[in-house]
C-alpha cells in the first residue's frame, strides 16, 4: 500500500497536532517539518523526522513530498501555500485560508495552474451535531429557515495573547472572527449558504493592551437562500469559555446546538420528528485544545488521503475556504478605525 508523503510548515500547537495525526495514519508518512524557531525551543529535540528553518530548504531537500500542511500564523497562510504550490505540492491549509479574498483567489489560481488541490481545514464539519444540523436544514426537516442565531462567547486574555507573539496583531492574526470564530462562520455558510445586507457593531472592552482589533461584536444579515441571521461574539468573557451555540427557528420547528464548542444538541422540537441518536462528540478542554487525540483532525488527514487516492472528494474545498474569508472580510469592512462602535 503506497503512503501519501506529507510535510508540515509551522510547529506551534496546531502544527505539532498535524504532524502527529499524519504519523498515526497508516496510509501517510511524515517526511519533514519546518519552523522559523529553533528545534530545541519548540520542544522537538527528540524529533525523528528532518527539521528545517525554511519551507524552501525543506522542499528542495525532499522532492518526494506530495502534500504540505500549512500551520503558520494566519497572515502567512497564503505565502506558504504558494511556496508549496510552486513546488508542485498539494496543500492543506489551516483556518483561515488567508486574510483576504484576493490572497485566496491567488492561491486558487496557482492551484489550477499546477493541477493541485487546496484542502481547507474546517474540521468542525465532521462534528455529529454539525452533520445533523446540515441534514435537517438541507432536507427541510426543520422547514423554511426563518432565523438563525450564532453565539460565540469565549475567553481570550493575557494567558493567550503573549507579548511579542503573532496573536492579536492585525497583520498575522487578522481579528477575532478569523482566529477564534471562523470555524463557526464556516458552519453558517456550509449549512445556510451566503449572506447579504450585513450590518454590524463592534467594541473593544478589555483587549486594548492585548490586541490590535475588537474583542466583541454584533452582526446581522440576510441569507441569500432566505431567512435572516445574526452573529454575537466576544472574547471578553471572564476566565473561561462560555459557549458556542447555534439556534434555528424554522417553519416546522426549532433547534439549538450548544456547549462550549457547539457539541451538544440542547433543544429539538420539530413537527412529526423523532430526534435520532448521534455519534459521540469529541470532548474539548478550555482554550479549544482537544484532549489527547480526541479531535477531528484525523478525519482531515484521512480526507486528504482518500481524495488523492480517488475514494472521495474534498470536505472543504478552496472555494468554500474563500467564501468564509469573503464573509469575514465583508463584516470587517464595517469596522471603524478606532475599534469603537
Digit-by-digit pLDDT tens for the chain (341 residues) are: 799 999 999 999 999 999 999 999 999 999 999 999 999 999 999 999 999 999 999 999 999 999 999 999 999 999 999 999 999 999 999 999 999 999 999 999 999 999 999 999 999 999 999 999 999 999 999 999 999 999 999 999 999 999 899 999 999 999 999 999 999 999 999 999 999 999 999 999 999 999 999 999 999 999 999 999 999 999 999 999 999 999 999 999 999 999 999 999 999 999 999 999 998 865 433 323 333 333 678 899 999 999 999 999 999 999 999 999 999 999 999 997 655 44
In-domain check, residue 35: yes
173 plus 233 within the same structural domain: yes
User: In the prediction, which pLDDT does 31 show?
Assistant: 98
The count of domains in the chain is 2
60 plus 176 within the same structural domain: no
Distance of alpha carbon 171 from alpha carbon 167, whole angstroms: 9
User: Contact, 283 vs 109, CB < 8 A?
Assistant: no
In-domain check, residue 326: no
Backbone angles phi, psi at 255, to 5 degrees: -140, 155
User: In the prediction, which pLDDT does 291 show?
Assistant: 35
In-domain check, residue 52: yes
Q: List, edge to edge, every strand of the sheet that includes 4-9.
A: 51-52, 28-34, 4-9, 67-70, 90-93, 118-120
In-domain check, residue 93: yes
219 plus 98 within the same structural domain: no
301 plus 178 within the same structural domain: no
In-domain check, residue 335: no
In-domain check, residue 336: no
Return the residue matching grid coordinates 467594541: 203
Q: Nearest Cα to 232, choosing from 122, 148, 136, 175?
A: 148
For the domain that residue 190 is a member of, what is the CATH number?
3.30.360.10
136 plus 60 within the same structural domain: no
User: Contact, 321 vs 122, CB < 8 A?
Assistant: yes
Residue 26: which domain range?
4-120+297-316
Distance of alpha carbon 329 from alpha carbon 99, whole angstroms: 8
Give the rounded distance of the alpha carbon of 74 from its chain centre: 11
User: Contact, 68 vs 91, CB < 8 A?
Assistant: yes
Distance of alpha carbon 36 from alpha carbon 11, whole angstroms: 9
> By three-state DSSP, how is residue 62 classified?
coil
Question: Kindly report the CA angle at 188 between 182 and 12, in degrees rounded to 5?
Answer: 20
Backbone angles phi, psi at 229, to 5 degrees: -145, 170
201 plus 228 within the same structural domain: yes
For the domain that residue 103 is a member of, what is the CATH number?
3.40.50.720
Q: Nearest Cα to 161, choosing from 142, 144, 180, 148?
A: 180
In-domain check, residue 331: no
Q: Nearest Cα to 173, choosing from 341, 4, 3, 332?
A: 332
Q: What's the predicted TM-score (pTM) here? A: 0.93
Cis omega (within 30 of 0) for bond into 96: yes
Distance of CA 70 to CAs 83, 94, 121, 163, Å? 10, 6, 10, 24
Rg (CA), the chain: 20
In-domain check, residue 188: yes
Amino acid at each position: 500500500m503506497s503512503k501519501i508523503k506529507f510535510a508540515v510548515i509551522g510547529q506551534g500547537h496546531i502544527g505539532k497536532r498535524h504532524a502527529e495525526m499524519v504519523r498515526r495514519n497508516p496510509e501517510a508518512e511524515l517526511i519533514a517539518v519546518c519552523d522559523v524557531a529553533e528545534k530545541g525551543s519548540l520542544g522537538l529535540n527528540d524529533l525523528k523526522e528532518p527539521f528545517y528553518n525554511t519551507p524552501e530548504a525543506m522542499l528542495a531537500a525532499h522532492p518526494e513530498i506530495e502534500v504540505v500542511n500549512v500551520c503558520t500564523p494566519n497572515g502567512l497562510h497564503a505565502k506558504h501555500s504558494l511556496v508549496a504550490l510552486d513546488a508542485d505540492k498539494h496543500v492543506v491549509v489551516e483556518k483561515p485560508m488567508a486574510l483576504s479574498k484576493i490572497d485566496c483567489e491567488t492561491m486558487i489560481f496557482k492551484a489550477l495552474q499546477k493541477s493541485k488541490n487546496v484542502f481547507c481545514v474546517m474540521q468542525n464539519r465532521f462534528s455529529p451535531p454539525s452533520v445533523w444540523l446540515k441534514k435537517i436544514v438541507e432536507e427541510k426537516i426543520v422547514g423554511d429557515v426563518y432565523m438563525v442565531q450564532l453565539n460565540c462567547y469565549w475567553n481570550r486574555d493575557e494567558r493567550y495573547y503573549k507579548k511579542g507573539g503573532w496573536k492579536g496583531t492585525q497583520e498575522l492574526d487578522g481579528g477575532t472572527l478569523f482566529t477564534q470564530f471562523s470555524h463557526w462562520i464556516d458552519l453558517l455558510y456550509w449549512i445556510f449558504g451566503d449572506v447579504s445586507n450585513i450590518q454590524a457593531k463592534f467594541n473593544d472592552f478589555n483587549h486594548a493592551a492585548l490586541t490590535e482589533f475588537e474583542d466583541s461584536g454584533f452582526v446581522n444579515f440576510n441569507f441569500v437562500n432566505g431567512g435572516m441571521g445574526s452573529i454575537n461574539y466576544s472574547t471578553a468573557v471572564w476566565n473561561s469559555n462560555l459557549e458556542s451555540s447555534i439556534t434555528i427557528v424554522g417553519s416546522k420547528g426549532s433547534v439549538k446546538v450548544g456547549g462550549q464548542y457547539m457539541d451538544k444538541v440542547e433543544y429539538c422540537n420539530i413537527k412529526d420528528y423523532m430526534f435520532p441518536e448521534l455519534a459521540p462528540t469529541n470532548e474539548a478542554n478550555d482554550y479549544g485544545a482537544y484532549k489527547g487525540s480526541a479531535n477531528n483532525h484525523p478525519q482531515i488527514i484521512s480526507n486528504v488521503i482518500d481524495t488523492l487516492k480517488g475514494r472521495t472528494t474534498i470536505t472543504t474545498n478552496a472555494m468554500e475556504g474563500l467564501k468564509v474569508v469573503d464573509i469575514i472580510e465583508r463584516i470587517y469592512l464595517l469596522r471603524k478605525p478606532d475599534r469603537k462602535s
